[in-house]
Amino acid sequence: MKKLKNYAKAFLPTTISMATQPPESLKTDWLTLPTSDQVFHPSNLNPHLVKMEYAVRGLLVQTAEKLEAQLRRGELDDAPFDKIVYCNIGNPQALDDIALTFIRQVLALVTYPGLIDAVRGGQISEELFPSDTVARAEDILASVPGGVGAYSHSMGIPYVRQKVAQFIEERDGYPSDPEAIFITDGASPGISTVIQSLIRGPNDGILLPVPQYPLYSATVAACGGTQVDYYLDEANGWSLDVAELDRAVTEAKANGVGPRALAVINPGNPTGQVMSANNIADVIQFCADHHLIVLADEVYQENVYDPDNKPFVSFKKALMDSAPGVRDRVELFSFHSVSKGMLGECGLRGGYMEAHNIHHDGMAQLYKNVSVSLCSNTIGQLTVGLMVDPPQLGDPSYHLYTKQYRKQYKSLKRRALALTDALNSMEGVSCKPASGAMYAFPQITLPAAVAAAASDLYMSPDTYYCLELLKGTGVCVVPGSGFGQVDGTYHFRTTFLPPEHELAKVGETVAKWHAEFMDKHRGS
Amino acid sequence: MKKLKNYAKAFLPTTISMATQPPESLKTDWLTLPTSDQVFHPSNLNPHLVKMEYAVRGLLVQTAEKLEAQLRRGELDDAPFDKIVYCNIGNPQALDDIALTFIRQVLALVTYPGLIDAVRGGQISEELFPSDTVARAEDILASVPGGVGAYSHSMGIPYVRQKVAQFIEERDGYPSDPEAIFITDGASPGISTVIQSLIRGPNDGILLPVPQYPLYSATVAACGGTQVDYYLDEANGWSLDVAELDRAVTEAKANGVGPRALAVINPGNPTGQVMSANNIADVIQFCADHHLIVLADEVYQENVYDPDNKPFVSFKKALMDSAPGVRDRVELFSFHSVSKGMLGECGLRGGYMEAHNIHHDGMAQLYKNVSVSLCSNTIGQLTVGLMVDPPQLGDPSYHLYTKQYRKQYKSLKRRALALTDALNSMEGVSCKPASGAMYAFPQITLPAAVAAAASDLYMSPDTYYCLELLKGTGVCVVPGSGFGQVDGTYHFRTTFLPPEHELAKVGETVAKWHAEFMDKHRGS
């Protein structure tokens, strides 16, 4: 009984309550909270920030963390699970996916250059550090004044920006200018900096897909701008229809909002679709016609699981393929990251942004803005440099790198298929195949009783579903409402990152719980 | 002749021009620039960001970078210097100061855990990795799920936050709560996040010292708030006078601005003063009386060169030493960093923020805000953990760590004295002793002809002086106008970080150039 009480208590404090009064933390508008005479209190803070929401690390995750702490303390022995499975965020290494050895070898050498001398002096075997890792580390240290311990140029280490430009040139077959590359702490800071620059007030709009990765909605809200929704077409595999963009722009303008930029996530997050070259060309033409900057979030460009039929095409390439008048006019920012792909180096925080067709005075502004935080972390920067310039055929590290890379790729692809199949086998669940990225975003059709139960708790039905799922299985996913969805439809986002030997079990557990949940709420 | 032309050309493009027209980049108000039909152009961007200035990486540095590139290309053989000496920013490792070996050893082990097995298996000698570095790395990997490659908790790795809290407790003799610690990418992001939260509009003010580190003025400007200046007293060694705070607050209120927080930099940047416990207590009492949050920037807390007479006292300790009613009421954020002190790990980007007396709903807001950028980089986070928990007496690494630490400390202290002496020996230059930090901020009294020459170039006299110094010696410092100064006075900030064997030569070169500069402008 004591244990049961403890288990129930896990859901009571601050983050979620089963009481009949709406728990404070569930109110979406913090401004209705009681005021306080403390200065740093929501009632006295920047309302844009206070209103901002960020679901990927929101209520579900905070509840999961609380449960995990209780599990560790042995307070939840009666719970129907013995660990939390975090499917809320694309964080592969937290779920046992391994780092690529080459990357880590080079990083260790540049972090502690004494190792280089030891390898060169024969005190450490080449098995631990193949000769190309040492050569690469020496190359880096010769090119980076002060090594990893010094602030770099605010736009990023020139050596890395040069490598990124070469990578883009080889990928797209078009020139890329190192002076137009910013190296960033993951992709997020580049995206925020550009959006922050674009928003002058509430009449400035940014077109965001629905559903979207909530960094976008959070940043637009924090800057006091207006989010202009365009809906992806779930029935057509979450495709992007230019007619829908047109509707969104027309409606925004009728409401006095001027759209300034269009954010596109390709491959999609949370939806996993991969856009065709023709579709991208149409979107670019639309942006030319409506004078919109393109923000192309391409962090999943290596996570493409049907490359023959649905290859990744960059917005930069599609733009360069366009007619004059479009090619030389549409302003484009593209983003990439070391956190996804096969590296999955989330913790190292490395990414880049390429600016194209941006006025030099606009570039000067960006440079100034990023200067205020001095530079992004050098280890993350160097990881970007390694990602875009991996070992080549003939290099001692090539074989292992390629083997690890392919193994990870195949495993992700298998997991994507297995998860989609498992979800589609569940009653009331419909999941489009994920051609890319790391997520499934299934739609769930829930019995009417679920909406009623959720409403009693001041929650949306999908939030209620996800919390019950967490309580019943330990699996943490994020409700669709955190990403946006058509009114009256319900979804959740789950990564397909649990290790393969666990994924089947996770699928079974969820399926069993889901069947019971549906039965319980059917009104039987 | 061709070379001379090249040398002159270094100063022409975009950043600075010797033409009679005001170069666009020297205009302080970008909004007066011609408009553009490109979206990402200053005339169409967020005016708060466009107006924001950031001198530490501004005109002087951009010019220095251009010169350095030309030196590399062999285009400046006629220049009176053969390299650029960057004294514009506290970036010790860029100027040959070395990293502490213990820190780098542990970081290399956690980055490439294969090394741990190799040391344990006897394939690598303990000279390269003493046993305590291996034990520490194992402790870290056991405490950090997914290792360095996984996103951490958004507030930071709990293991690191725990260590920071212990460090603060031992430093101050008062409890510290790990749940009130945020680990950040250097100190800057914590400072910006708090200021961004506090500013709701132009009537919200933040009290900033004059002179100040321009991160503060830049962030207040970017958020659309009002900078409320309080002047440090140069005649009294840049001390902080509460009467001056009172004047600043009264004047701000008369202008309709409500001050919300007081930023204090102790030890001072750019001024190097160290505040006494009594002075800090008075400032805290003032903040209690005026309902102000304290932002205590204590990143130079280990850079204190007269610890017997002017020891570092943290705001947290001084607050806890205060009377009830103050101790339990004044809201405090304190900031620290791995970039300064004896580590100087600027490139790794690690720091922390401690929140004290902050309402739990305010804490929830901060947690949400930092969540949007997922987490700070894990290598920087772990560096924070190592900084606050160095090897102890008896540990194998203790001797080397202590030796390197003391060597760096003594060297910085000697450099501080040598630089101040050298500056004070120059005509018209007066420099207060630096009791702390990494900078000297001398006042320069310039002949009237300098003001006239500067005015012809649409520059302030101190900017003109610094640019001429750069052109004449290759030494890059930052004009006082970038930090703020009493109207009609002129200063510059220089780090004392060049290596000791070069510092004397740098001093001589600057002194010789300065004498010629003064002669030239005396109207002789």
pLDDT in tens, B54-84: 877 778 988 998 999 999 999 988 889 999 9
Contacts of A198 in chain B (CB under 8 A): 39-40, 45-46
Task: Dump pLDDT digits (tens) for B407-437.
Answer: 999 999 999 999 999 999 999 999 998 889 9
**B82 contacts B113 by C-beta, under 8 angstroms:** no
Give the residue with greater pLDDT, A76 vs B290: B290
Mean pLDDT, residues B326-332: 96
Report the residue of chain A nearest B368, measured CA to CA.
A54
pLDDT at residue B219 greater than cutoff 90: yes
What backbone phi and psi angles, to 5 degrees, belong to B207?
A: -75, 120
Report the residue of chain A nearest B54, measured CA to CA.
A372
Task: Dump pLDDT digits (tens) for A90-140.
Answer: 888 888 888 999 999 999 999 999 999 999 999 999 999 999 999 999 999
Mean pLDDT, residues B466-473: 95
How is domain A2-95+406-521 classified at the CATH fold level? Answer: Aspartate Aminotransferase, domain 1 (3.90.1150)
Contact A361/B42, CB-based, under 8 Å? yes
Q: How is the beta sheet containing A478-479 ordered, strand by strand?
A: A439-440, A492-495, A478-479
Token pair, residue A375, equals 């530079």
CA angle A12, A16, A20 (to 5 degrees): 80
pLDDT at B53 (0 to 100): 84
Across the interface, of A58, A196, A345, the residue whose CB is closest to B149 is A345
Arch. (CATH architecture) of A154-387: 3-Layer(aba) Sandwich (3.40)
Is B145 in CB contact (< 8 Å) with chain A? Answer: yes
Q: How many angstroms separate the CA of residue A498 from the nearest CA in chain B?
A: 13
A498 pLDDT tier (thresholds 50, 70, 90): confident
* Mean pLDDT rounded to a whole number for chain A: 90
B34 pLDDT tier (thresholds 50, 70, 90): low
Classify the complex by whether its ipTM is higher than 0.90, answering yes or no: yes
pLDDT at residue B515 greater than cutoff 90: yes
Report d(CA A99, CA A87) in Å as an integer.
19
Contacts of B346 in chain A (CB under 8 A): 149-151, 374
- For the domain covering B189-337, report its CATH number: 3.40.640.10
Q: What percent of chain B has pLDDT over 70?
A: 93
pLDDT at residue A11 greater than cutoff 70: no
Residues 169-208 of B with CB under 8 A from A: 185-186, 188-189, 192, 194, 196-200
Please list the residue range(s) of chain A that carry CATH number 3.40.640.10: 154-387
Q: What percent of chain A has pLDDT over 90?
A: 81
pLDDT at B54 (0 to 100): 81
Please list the residue range(s) of chain B that carry CATH number 3.90.1150.10: 2-95+406-521
Task: Dump pLDDT digits (tens) for A505-518.
Answer: 899 999 999 999 99
Please list the residue range(s) of chain B that carry CATH number 3.40.640.10: 189-337
Q: What percent of chain B has pLDDT over 90?
A: 81
pTM for the predicted model, two decimal places: 0.92
Contact B347/A149, CB-based, under 8 Å? yes
pLDDT at residue B5 greater than cutoff 60: no
Q: Which ranges in A256-397 belong to alpha helices (H)?
A: 277-290, 315-320, 360-371, 378-387
pLDDT at A62 (0 to 100): 86
**B300 contacts B281 by C-beta, under 8 angstroms:** no
pLDDT at B77 (0 to 100): 85
pLDDT at A116 (0 to 100): 97
Residues 302-331 of B with CB under 8 A from A: 331
pLDDT at residue A308 greater than cutoff 80: yes
Report d(CA B413, CA B513) in Å as an integer.
25
pLDDT at A1 (0 to 100): 28
Contacts of A404 in chain B (CB under 8 A): none
Is A46 in CB contact (< 8 Å) with chain B? Answer: yes
Report the residue of chain B nearest A200, measured CA to CA.
B46
Q: How many angstroms separate the CA of residue B174 from the nearest CA in chain A?
A: 22
pLDDT at residue B46 greater than cutoff 60: yes
Contact B373/A189, CB-based, under 8 Å? yes
CA distances from A237 to A43, A209, A318, B163, B508 (A): 42, 14, 21, 48, 71
Amino acid at position B524, single letter: S
A4 pLDDT tier (thresholds 50, 70, 90): very low
Is B70 in CB contact (< 8 Å) with chain A? Answer: no
Is A292 in CB contact (< 8 Å) with chain B? Answer: yes
Amino acid at position B488, single letter: G
Contacts of B293 in chain A (CB under 8 A): 39-40
Contact A348/B149, CB-based, under 8 Å? yes
A255 pLDDT tier (thresholds 50, 70, 90): very high
Contact B347/A380, CB-based, under 8 Å? no
Give the residue with greater pLDDT, B23 vs B327: B327
Contacts of B196 in chain A (CB under 8 A): 46, 49, 222
Q: How many angstroms separate the CA of residue A524 from the nearest CA in chain B?
A: 40
Contacts of B212 in chain A (CB under 8 A): none
Mean pLDDT, residues B85-105: 90
For A151, residues 6+ apart whose C-beta sits below 8 A from its C-beta are A374, A375, B89, B91, B94, B339, B346, B347
pLDDT at B32 (0 to 100): 44
**A313 contacts A349 by C-beta, under 8 angstroms:** no
Q: How many angstroms separate the CA of residue B385 from the nearest CA in chain A?
A: 16
Report d(CA A117, CA A108) in Å as an integer.
13
Across the interface, of B150, B331, B376, the residue whose CB is closest to A94 is B150
CA angle B185, B189, B192 (to 5 degrees): 175
Mean pLDDT, residues A128-156: 96
- Among candidates A470, A213, A432, A125, which has minimal Cα distance to A306? A432
Task: Dump pLDDT digits (tens) for A406-443.
Answer: 999 999 999 999 999 999 999 999 999 888 999 999 99
pLDDT at B8 (0 to 100): 32
Question: Lowest-confidence range among A256-265, B97-106, B500-509?
Answer: B500-509
Task: Dump pLDDT digits (tens) for B440-465.
Answer: 999 999 999 999 999 988 889 999 99
- Among candidates A517, A380, A508, A516, which has minimal Cα distance to A453? A517
pLDDT at A96 (0 to 100): 80
Task: Dump pLDDT digits (tens) for B274-312.
Answer: 999 999 999 999 999 999 999 999 999 999 999 999 999
CA distances from A512 to A76, A463, A515 (A): 21, 19, 5
Mean pLDDT, residues B104-128: 95
Contacts of B299 in chain A (CB under 8 A): none
Across the interface, of B104, B152, B197, the residue whose CB is closest to A46 is B197
Is B147 in CB contact (< 8 Å) with chain A? Answer: yes
Mean pLDDT, residues B390-398: 97
The crossing angle, in degrees rounded to 10, of helices A101-111 and B101-111 is 180
Contact A49/B125, CB-based, under 8 Å? no
Element (H, E) at B288: helix B277-290
Report d(CA A297, CA A388) in Å as an integer.
17
Residues 401-430 of A with CB under 8 A from B: none
Q: How many angstroms separate the CA of residue A464 from the nearest CA in chain B?
A: 21
Question: Lowest-confidence range among A400-404, B31-35, B135-139, B188-192?
Answer: B31-35
pLDDT at A22 (0 to 100): 37
For A261, residues 6+ apart whose C-beta sits below 8 A from its C-beta are A194, A195, A198, A206, A207, A292, A293, A294, A295, B39
pLDDT at residue A20 greater than cutoff 60: no
Mean pLDDT, residues A292-299: 98
Contact A197/B40, CB-based, under 8 Å? yes
Mean pLDDT, residues A17-44: 56
A502 pLDDT tier (thresholds 50, 70, 90): confident
pLDDT at residue A16 greater than cutoff 50: no
Q: How many angstroms separate the CA of residue A51 from the nearest CA in chain B?
A: 10
Contact A89/B151, CB-based, under 8 Å? yes
Is A115 in CB contact (< 8 Å) with chain B? Answer: yes
